[in-house]
Amino acid sequence: MFFNSPLWVGLVLVALLIGLIIFKIKPMIVFSLTSGVLFLTGSVTQNVFLSGFINSALVTLLLLIICSFAIEKTTFIKSFGQKFFGENKIINLIKLCVSCSVASGFTNNTAVVSTVMASINQNKKLTPSHLLLPLSYACIVGGTLTLVGTSTNLIVAGFVETAGLNTLSMFSTTPIALIVLVAGLAVMIPAAYYLLPTNKPDILENNEYFIEAKVGANSSLINKTVLENGFRNLDALFLAEVIRNDKLITPVDPNFQIQANDKLMFAGDVNDLTTLNRFDGLKILNDDLANISNNLVQAVVTADARISGKTIKQSNFRSLFNATVIGVRRGGQKVTGGLGKIKLKPGDALLLAVGKDFKYRNNLKKNFIVLNEELGSGQLSSGLSKLVVAGFVLALGVAAVGAISLLKSLLVLLGFYLAVGALSIAEIRRRLPFEIVIIVGSAITVAHAMQSSGLAAYISEIILVISSDYDVFGAFVVLFITTVLLTELITNNAAAALVFPIGLTLANHFNADPMPFIMAVAFGASASFLSPFGYQTNLMVYSAGQYQIKDYFKFGLPVSLVYCTTAIYVIPSVYGF
């Protein structure tokens, strides 16, 4: 039957890759449509289609993510970023990378990066561009230390379970990851010292945004020059542009006269934003929501955000999020023109003045990484923080020694967090990572179709031809490299889903132990070092570090080469063929 043939499944897979790579369609949409087509055409059975969504590894991943919400709110996470910074740049890098990589092995790396990034930006003695990219990469590598350190490991564990193989333990990846981490840090720290840019304060401050203010009709600023109004005497804000009747005026002469309804575009540090209050009739946008006394939130536009490619006006930003954009920052690039006309891009950092229900909007995670996490939930007390962390350590500990399954221990932990008030049902409902459920459940369906149709076998034959001179090790290397390339082109979880069935087929062909191939998928899918868009933490530091895309490639290439080379040689040593 055609719909069960490798040709049909191959065509569907090509369509999936085109959607992800060329048209940049959200992975959730592409994978759900693909699995739906495979089910409706009879390529997979109903049981296979549904089983992916009730996979125990997926449920475990969801429980872990939910429990990590409580960890993010503890006083330990909030104060974590204050512990390492001194005067010596190399010592700072070593302490930063080692501490954060270990922390990422056991908790949400997004929370680690967000917390430490805030501490770096608040310390005027530091150069953020020297620290933030190493912070992201250290967290990525550190995530491979345990089964719970990254979603990729748990998803691979789900594929292993679905295939009927021996389940992965909490520390199945640890012997490999420790060596890879040491090698990665050995190149990452000197590379950061020599290859990362130094963004000098007189060029661009680490907390600088492009901020728009409007002159009211009765303002005392009217008919006075820039110099007379005192705009040249601001400590950390600089009047960069004026927009009058949709005409952009830049640079702004000190003798330029201000008129009613002029839009004044400031570049400056958000910490000094309140200084604009002393100017009569000057409003941060002409909007009552954008009062400086409101909560200010910093957020980063995600790679697949629905608002990406649209201007703030086109996206109906206010109605969507009950928030007003006060400022925009875009890596090391200069932003110009009125805020309403700026087309938002992935990685843009936005300064938002938010309404009361902002934190309850269900569309936040679809568009932003919110850096001010305390806005969303509130920090726990010191005593409750200790209970939360102790419970988390105990839950992972009893699972690690095999006393109880990780799923059961996390289920008990979640019940405990709800009982003591560390989490609420409303918070879980609001922050539930629905997209992960859809992507992973659908990916399991796609992986099964690749195997049952024989497509995985065909692709394996191609890999065997390419690696014919190197036997099983050559096939293993090609599989690893293929996973890395797909990770950079699409996403880590999607790459793991597509390559896993090919790895099992290769293992069966050589009658080899599947573990080296499983580890190749797990470690290859975590190797995202060459762009700001391949992994969430890379995107988070993009604007905060004032990076350009070339900085990721220049710094990430040696890190990627060492990471991949070390993993390729260590994996077969730990898990022989």
pLDDT tens figures, 220-269:
999 999 888 888 877 677 888 888 888 888 888 889 999 998 988 887 76
- In whole angstroms, what is the distance from residue 56 CA to residue 167 CA? 11
Residue 353 · residue 290 · CB < 8 Å: yes
User: pLDDT tens digits, residue range 47-94?
Assistant: 888 887 877 777 887 888 888 888 877 877 666 655 667 777 888 888
> Which stretch of 74-78, 113-117, 261-265, 536-540 has the lowest confidence by average pLDDT?
74-78
> Residue 186: what pLDDT?
94
Q: Output the six-digit token pair for 283.
A: 């409003």
pLDDT, greater one: 497 or 122 = 497
Closest among 573, 528, 575, 540 to 150, alpha carbons compared:
528
Q: At 228, which helix (H) or strand (E)?
A: none
Please name the residues in contact with 539: beta carbons below 8 A apart, sequence gap of 6 or more.
300, 302, 303, 346, 347, 369, 532, 533
- In whole angstroms, what is the distance from residue 218 CA to residue 390 CA? 59
Cis peptide before 251 (omega within 30 of 0): yes
User: What's the alpha-carbon Rg for the chain, to the nearest Å?
Assistant: 25
Residue 137 · residue 180 · CB < 8 Å: no
Mean pLDDT of the chain: 83
Strand partners, 263: 214, 243
The angle, 0 to 180 degrees and rounded to 10, between the axes of the packed helices 27-40 and 492-509 is 50
- In whole angstroms, what is the distance from residue 434 CA to residue 431 CA? 8
Predicted model pTM = 0.74
pLDDT band with cut points at 50, 70 and 90 for residue 203: very low
Q: Does the domain made of 208-375 have the CATH classification 1.10.3730.10?
A: no
Please name the residues in contact with 484: beta carbons below 8 A apart, sequence gap of 6 or more.
524, 527, 560, 564
User: pLDDT tens digits, residue range 520-531?
Assistant: 999 999 998 988
- In whole angstroms, what is the distance from residue 430 CA to residue 208 CA? 31
pLDDT band with cut points at 50, 70 and 90 for residue 286: very low
Q: Is 324 helix (H, G, I), strand (E, B) or coil?
A: strand
Q: At 270, which helix (H) or strand (E)?
A: none
Q: Is 300 helix (H, G, I), strand (E, B) or coil?
A: strand
Q: Provide the residue count of the chain.
A: 577
| Mean of pLDDT values over 136-146 | 93
Residue 567 · residue 176 · CB < 8 Å: yes
Q: Running DSSP on this structure, what letter comes out for residue 2? A: G
- Per-domain residue ranges of the chain: 208-375
pLDDT band with cut points at 50, 70 and 90 for residue 565: very high
